[in-house]
Amino acid sequence: AQRVTQPEKLLSVFKGAPVELKCNYSYSGSPELFWYVQYSRQRLQLLLRHISRESIKGFTADLNKGETSFHLKKPFAQEEDSAMYYCALSARFGNEKLTFGTGTRLTIIP
């Protein structure tokens, strides 16, 4: 079974401070991990995926297979980072349904 855990429902960080959103997963096969973001009144959009190894809007995430984690990090938070963040997992091969975590609402304090 696939499972994604985001332990923090709410996270508040001061502008300019580092951000870390935690994500742990459970999957027996070879997973693909994603971070999706939902800004206020907007649709879910992909922030990054582990296979592309890109840094988007200053965010990075490293897949740690030993700890089964895919934490999202940014060294200096900006006010526009306030949003809902969802970690998601899919099978590497298959029809790629996404299994989501419960999400973390990030608020950046000016």
Binding residues for another protein, per CB under 8 A?
Answer: 34, 36, 42-46, 49, 51, 86, 88, 95-103
Task: Look at residue 108 and give its three-state secondary structure.
Answer: strand
The answer to whether residues 9 and 103 touch, using CB atoms and an 8 Å cutoff, is yes
Q: Least distance from C-beta 110 to another protein, angstroms?
A: 27
Taking the least distance from each CB to another protein, the nearer of 19 and 101 is: 101
Q: Can you list the positions of beta strands (E) in the chain?
A: 3-5, 10-14, 19-21, 24-26, 31-38, 45-49, 60-61, 72-74, 83-91, 99-100, 104-109
For the CB of residue 54, give the shortest distance to another protein in the complex, in Å.
12
The residue (of 80 and 96) whose beta carbon lies closer to another protein is 96
CB of residue 32 vs another protein: minimum separation in angstroms? 9
Query: Which of 30, 95 has the CB closer to another protein?
Result: 95
What's the min distance (Å) between Cβ of 42 and another protein?
Answer: 8
CB 21 within 8 A of CB 67: no
